[in-house]
Structure 1
Amino acid sequence: MSEHQQYGAGGWGPVPQWAPPGPPRRRRTVPVLLGAVALVVLVAVGLTAWTAGRSAQVASAPTPVTATRYQSGDPAAAAAVQPGLVDVDTVIGYQGAQAAGTGIVLTADGEVLTNNHVVAGATRIQVTDIGNGRTYAATVVGYDRSRDVAVLQLQGATGLTTAPLGDSATVAVGDPVVGVGNAGGVGGTPSTAAGTVTALDRPITASDESGSAEQLTGLIQVDADIQAGDSGGPLVNSAGQVVGMDTAASTPSRTATRHHRSATGQTAAVQGFAIPIDDALSVARQIESGAASSTVHIGESAMLGVSVTDSGAGQGAVVGQVLAGSPAAQAGVVAGDAIVAVNGQSVDSAAALTTLLDGTHPGDSVSVTWVDQSQQQQDATVTLVTGPTG
């Protein structure tokens, strides 16, 4: 499923695999709440931006953006989960852009729960276990983009400490909680951010900084200062149990009433959002069972090799660029063409193309129909290749 609109315009999927390196898409704040649905342009919660001092041809060493955070909360609760966490570091696309997030260890042999957006677009994933300090290569077992859940498998891992899991059904408004994670992507001892549960069953419209949006529902809302790099990390109750997976954050509008005092002494309104752990584990169990569905993808992601945008008229996905040597290039697709069908199923948008390719795997043969710039319809059968994750 690696087809996405140009730079960030296709939801939380990766930037185009062949795009010039620069900061990975960051999730940032938006100053607005719309009725019952919070419009949240998410903080870079899981994709920590690196400096972009490099060109498309020469990749210089990345320098992480260091985040500071008000350290607070129940030290015992945070300490109870830290050995069961991992730092997730990824290389995005084929040009060396980098990103970072957090994961929760589910099994001693290295199964890890994280957000889909933490690994979306990754061509390489390395995971450092907090409990033993070792770094492992990781593969993606599967993911559900619509619920922002992914499961990783660490290669060669044994004897890992697992995170203590709680019951998110017991969470109530007013409960004290602590968000724990790899804030800033700096690694080392996880940082913490304390707060309380302010609402349950929250729906949000979540966007990256390009404005691409997706809907998430049923979230736990907190006033903890969730930050870049925390995505995939645990929301912990006072008993030291994981009750949620940190996923999104926002600085709400002037209507917000809760505030957090930062390390600099400035008061800022904050809201964090976490997927209830029961919901995340339900998706993880489906992935573990190998049961693909309309939303759950199992195994490696397939690639056609194009960046696409919406046509604006519901008439296909317009090709922006074509990766040299890719299946699309070999079929004769060029920039400016509009892909209108895959395997006979209509494509009316870039998101529709992504959804259709989510159901495929590397090695699959698919028929592709596109309209060229002379308005002639073209058809070809191509064999998909392995592409970046999610």
Structure 2
Amino acid sequence: MSYYPPLPPQPPQRKQPGPLRSLALTLGAVTLAALIGVGFLVSGVGQSNHGSLALPDSSSSSSSSSSSSQGKLQSLDADAVAQKVDPGLVDINTTLGYQGAQAAGTGMVLTSDGEVLTNNHVVEGATSIQVTDVGNGKTYQAKVVGYDRSEDVAVLQLENASGLSTITTGDSSQVSTGDAVVGIGNAGGTGGTPSVAPGTVTALNQSITASDESSGSSEQLQGLIQVNANIQSGDSGGALADSDGKVIGMNTAASSGYQFGRSGGQSGTGGTGFAIPINQALSIAKQIEAGTASDTVHIGSSAFLGVSVSDAQEADPNSGQTQGSGGALIQQIVTGGAADQAGLQAGDTLIAINGKTVDSATGLTTLMDTLHPGDKVTLTWIGQTGEQQSADATLAEGPVG
């Protein structure tokens, strides 16, 4: 959930890779305290993406080029690149109040008055966001301008910020396999001088599946740049820069094949990382800046229903019961939240909001993304005895996403 010291740059401390766990990736936000609770927290129905990613099989990947190490392997000075990029980065630290946790990641400054680009999963579930600017060392409170969960992009606005250094962006459409790159971010969520992970582009237009370890839900991320750089937890939302110090991607996912917290020595280029092309991320950011909501882009604060949910199991067709259409099974109720005020209880199954069908926990997440704090809604659910009920409620402001 997010990310970057005004001192003369020291060579960043590199994290040593550990034994590779095959077919495992982790999203690059690092959880600093153990998450508690299971399932979705419905803020929107904030679906925490601190889980693992499945590596794309070659048969299912939409790669438009191979991962061959041949090509334009360039020599580059990673620290010199980092000196150009570092001032435009921020460390993002979030409090996940409803999950009893804190998390950290990275962001990139787009405007001198404090507009910041990051991954949605860096801030998802946050009840407060603090951002420390690497360029000036100051810490700011931040608000979410908007986000696109399906593309894993979010835009923040720092409060009372001015005169900030910004990143210089390149053209990700010109990236080729073999290009030398540097992943830069808040590896390990420890703050301080941003970490540096040099490597090369090994493939383009990659698709991966991100899975939440607690809820079992998953999402597809597409069109990614694949690199053989050791992008680590905490680097999410940070910069993937070219040899000129121009940002051509946003670090988003990485191989979990390292031992977290182990430091010292050179990181090498043995890891596998994935980045959202900067052209793609900026296109979404501009839509958010313009306040243009869509089926995937949410503008402003998240509405809060106040429940944790899981997929409701459809009735067994062999049991003699009528097979249902699923729904969202209420696991927990937040006291005083909209669902509590409407009279829902743990064990009930939410099946509609404003007459729109809720067919699963993920469907509830999608539906909540279209709503905002202050909206008056009609909730429809099936009680534990099988009766259908409806009641009105007013949505409050909740955690991000």
Structure 1-normalised TM-score?
A: 0.81
Q: Is the 8 A contact 2:44 2:368 kept in 1?
A: no
| Residue equivalent to 1:307 | 308
Given the alignment of the two structures, is residue 150 of structure 1 paired with residue 154 of structure 2, yes or no?
yes
| Residue equivalent to 2:381 | 370
Match of 1:90 among 80, 87, 94: 94
Secondary structure of 2:150 counterpart: helix
Amino acid across the alignment from 2:310: T
Q: CA deviation at 1:95?
A: 5.6
**Larger deviation: 263-272 or 358-367?**
263-272
CA distance in 2, matches of 1:362, 1:135: 27
| Residue equivalent to 1:7 | 38
Q: Is the 8 A contact 1:318 1:338 kept in 2?
A: yes
1:1-390 → structure 2 map (5 Å cutoff): 7-8=38-39, 26-28=50-52, 33=57, 35-37=59-61, 74-94=78-98, 96-210=100-214, 211-250=216-255, 270-313=271-314, 314-390=325-401
CA distance in 2, matches of 1:383, 1:13: 13
Segments of structure 2 that go 5 or more residues without pairing to the other structure are 1-36, 63-75, 258-262, 315-324
Q: CA deviation at 1:36?
A: 2.7
Q: CA deviation at 1:30?
A: 5.2
Amino acid across the alignment from 1:242: V
Amino acid across the alignment from 1:230: D
Amino acid across the alignment from 1:231: S
CA distance in 2, matches of 1:123, 1:34: 39
CA distance in 1, matches of 2:181, 2:195: 14
Q: CA deviation at 1:130?
A: 0.3
CA distance in 1, matches of 2:224, 2:43: 18
Q: CA deviation at 1:213?
A: 1.0
Q: CA deviation at 1:75?
A: 1.3
Number of equivalenced pairs: 338
Q: CA deviation at 1:7?
A: 2.4
Q: CA deviation at 1:29?
A: 6.1
Secondary structure of 1:147 counterpart: coil
| Structure number with larger C-alpha Rg | 2
CA distance in 1, matches of 2:92, 2:101: 14
Amino acid across the alignment from 1:294: D
Amino acid across the alignment from 2:359: D
CA distance in 2, matches of 1:317, 1:299: 25
Q: Is the 8 A contact 2:122 2:237 kept in 1?
A: yes
Give structure 1 regions of 4+ aligned residues with deviation exceeding 3 angstroms: 8-16, 24-34, 262-269
Q: CA deviation at 1:206?
A: 1.3
CA distance in 2, matches of 1:11, 1:293: 20
Q: CA deviation at 1:8?
A: 4.8
Q: CA deviation at 1:28?
A: 4.0
CA distance in 1, matches of 2:156, 2:286: 12
Secondary structure of 1:152 counterpart: strand
CA distance in 2, matches of 1:265, 1:237: 20
> Alpha carbons of 1:365 and 1:244: their partners in 2 closer, same or farther (altered >3 Å)?
same
> Alpha carbons of 1:77 and 1:265: their partners in 2 closer, same or farther (altered >3 Å)?
closer
| Residue equivalent to 1:52 | none
Q: Is the 8 A contact 1:8 1:15 kept in 2?
A: no
CA distance in 1, matches of 2:276, 2:84: 20
Q: CA deviation at 1:73?
A: 5.5
Deviations 1:203-228 (A, max 9, x none): 11112333321001100000100101
CA distance in 1, matches of 2:368, 2:301: 12
**Larger deviation: 106-115 or 206-215?**
206-215
> Alpha carbons of 1:267 and 1:177: their partners in 2 closer, same or farther (altered >3 Å)?
closer
CA distance in 1, matches of 2:167, 2:265: 32
Amino acid across the alignment from 2:241: V
Q: Is the 8 A contact 1:13 1:120 kept in 2?
A: no
CA distance in 2, matches of 1:198, 1:150: 26
Q: CA deviation at 1:293?
A: 0.6
Q: CA deviation at 1:11?
A: 12
Q: Is the 8 A contact 2:239 2:247 kept in 1?
A: yes
Structure 2-normalised TM-score?
A: 0.79
CA distance in 2, matches of 1:377, 1:190: 54
Q: Is the 8 A contact 1:165 1:242 kept in 2?
A: yes
Amino acid across the alignment from 1:310: D
Q: Is the 8 A contact 1:7 1:15 kept in 2?
A: no
Deviations 1:71-129 (A, max 9, x none): x9521111111000000000013364100000000000000000000000000000000
Q: Is the 8 A contact 1:235 1:245 kept in 2?
A: yes
Q: CA deviation at 1:365?
A: 0.5
| Residue equivalent to 2:71 | none
Secondary structure of 1:26 counterpart: coil
Q: Is the 8 A contact 2:229 2:270 kept in 1?
A: no
CA distance in 1, matches of 2:144, 2:247: 22
| Residue equivalent to 2:26 | none
Q: Is the 8 A contact 2:51 2:211 kept in 1?
A: yes
Q: Is the 8 A contact 1:10 1:212 kept in 2?
A: no
Q: Is the 8 A contact 2:39 2:309 kept in 1?
A: no
